[in-house]
Structure 1
Amino acid sequence: MSLINSAFKETKNKKRPALLTYTVAGDNNKKKSLEILKSIAKYADICEIGFPHNTPIADGGQIQSSAYRALKNGIKIKDVFSIVKDFKKSKQSKPVILMGYYNMIYQYGDNNFINICKKFGVDGLIVVDLPYPENKKFAKKCKKKGISFIQLVSPTTSSSRIKKIIKDSHDMVYYISMLSTTGGKLKVSSKKILERYRKIKNINKNKNIVIGFGITEKTIASLKKADGLVVGSALCKEITKSLKKRQNPVTNVTNIVRRLRNKII
């Protein structure tokens, strides 16, 4: 069983959703980013790490600010892998999912990139600009190496398309809750999001479906019937806030993740 599936199995046994956190690798520098990751892993079930990128597709202002700080401090792809390596070496058992864009992978070459991911302990990949079915070949290469390729579905994805995506999905499917960039205010009710979630879940009850976008301390409890919930912009926002106030982002971000975890127990 993969580490990602093990995480979901554990949270389901505890009758709560998995908490997935998202932070940008290298924000605001490599050392501090690793410290934040190690600290929040005490409360997160799965850790998503974003590649800093200067032309994001769906990332809102909070995540863009995090990416800008990382890029400004010279964070490269090799540094992202180094952070994952050091995190895994610290005997962390939490799964790590890298989130980025295909042009980075293309420059490395598919096989080379996947091999590096395997070498440093990456458990899953989200490639935002490589949609289904164009991602099928790459996803198969990931699966052969034991790396989960995470498919995305949105409120506008048709039922027939969702069925195909779920059939070809690996350990989990990421449901984008609303038509917005990350960090936006929840534009639809939790009830409607869960209704859509259940329709997706009913296609294959064995697949882990997580919900992302618009999830904060205020909204997370209302969505805790999902298999998993992703929080990213709220954490990036706290890092920005902490740095402006010259406070320790490690402590402040960890406190948020702890409170998020308590709201879904």
Structure 2
Amino acid sequence: MPVSRIKDAFRRLEERKERALIAYLTLGDPDPAASLELLTCLAEEVDLLELGIPFSDPIADGPTIQAAMERALSAGMTTEESFQIAKGLRAGGVEIPLIFMTYYNIVLQYGVERFVERCASTGVDGLLVSDLPVEESEALKEVCERHGVDLIFLIAPTTSEERMEEIVSRAGGFIYLVSLLGVTGERERLQERALEMVEKALRHTGSLPLVVGFGISKREHVEAIVRAGAQGVVVGSAFVRLVEEHGREACSELRRLARDLKEGTRGP
């Protein structure tokens, strides 16, 4: 089986002494065609793209991303259209890793085998199912391994060290550390506990990169996370807010924010 595109991306970043900037946008926001254009634009400035499949009950997401999902669903966005956007990104020359972030109900409704097969055939490299406990992941993990799709797991501030070990043993791609309790969204200040969590998690992640998300929206947040030792950061709501404000004209604003955040991943 070929080397995972995600693994290769982190290897190349390490060679350049950089950390990963992973950008999240909601698929289909403000509409499917504009979403493809904006993601293609953003892909030129970031290291990985996390693509949120719209869902009617996004329990892990704060108001900014919930509103984006509502806009996307109102514009006719479907799970099938999510695969079409991924396919369009690859057809348009986007080569960075693509990760679907979704809820398990979407995977089950589509069919587990069919969903993962479609990920593989449309160029999606990783799958993060935010409400799937590791104890219930065996069936999905087996299908993902068969199709060469990395199954990515979250760890939270409340995750015990014993449970971290179990999650790491089943995870692919990278480990996603949720930096705070609660839902996604921009924060003015990064919680000190988030930096302590990075140190704790790094004792258990082994060869898997550790990335940190939730509440990260500024360059100084990125710099602090990188100094703490994480291999990457995920920024979502700050990008989604720009789409909310500028719609299909958001490309230049997305680029500007991405370039500023990316500087924070390069260290001193």
RMSD of Structure 2 on Structure 1 (CA): 1.5
Partner amino acid for 2:117?
A: N
Mark the CA change 1:227 to 1:134 in structure 2 (over 3 Å): closer, same or farther.
same
Identity within the alignment, %: 33
Q: Distance in 1 between matches of 2:244 and 2:109?
A: 30
The aligned amino acid for 1:231 is V
**CA distance change for structure 1 residues 28 and 153 in 2, over 3 Å: closer, same or farther?**
same
Note the 1:126-141 alignment, pairs <5 A.
126-141=128-143
- After superposing on structure 2, the runs of 4+ consecutive aligned residues of structure 1 that deviate more than 4 Å are none
Aligned CA distance change for structure 1 residues 252 and 204 (closer, same or farther; 3 Å): closer
Equivalent position SS for 1:19: strand
Q: Which amino acid aligns with 2:198?
A: Y
Q: Deviations over 1:110-169 (max 9, x none)?
A: 111111111111100011111111112211210111000001110001111111111111
Contact residue 55 and residue 106 of structure 2 kept, 8 A: no
Counterpart residue number, 1:173: 175
- What is the identity, as a one-letter code, of the residue corresponding to 1:176? V
1:81-120 Cα offsets, whole Å, 9 max, x none, are 0000010111211000001111111112111111111111
Q: Is the 8 A contact 2:214 2:235 kept in 1?
A: yes
TM-score of the superposition, structure 2-length normalised? 0.93
Aligned counterpart for 1:78 among listed residues 66, 77, 80: 80
Structure 1: distance between partners of 2:186 and 2:261: 18
Q: 1:118 aligns with which of 120, 134, 142?
A: 120
TM-score, normalization: structure 1? 0.94
What SS is found at the alignment partner of 2:101? Answer: strand
- Partner of 1:239 in structure 2? 243
Q: List per-residue Cα deviations over 1:206-251 (Å, max 9, x = no partner).
A: 11111001111242221123111000000011111224xxx81122
Paired residues of 1:201 and 1:207 also in contact (CA < 8 A): no
Q: For 1:33-112, list aligned pairs within 5 A.
A: 33-112=35-114
The answer to whether the 8 A contact 2:102-2:129 is kept is yes
**5+ unaligned residues in a row in structure 1: which ranges?**
none
Paired with 1:187 and 1:137, the residues of 2 have a C-alpha distance of 39
2:127–2:150: 8 Å Cα contact kept in structure 1? yes
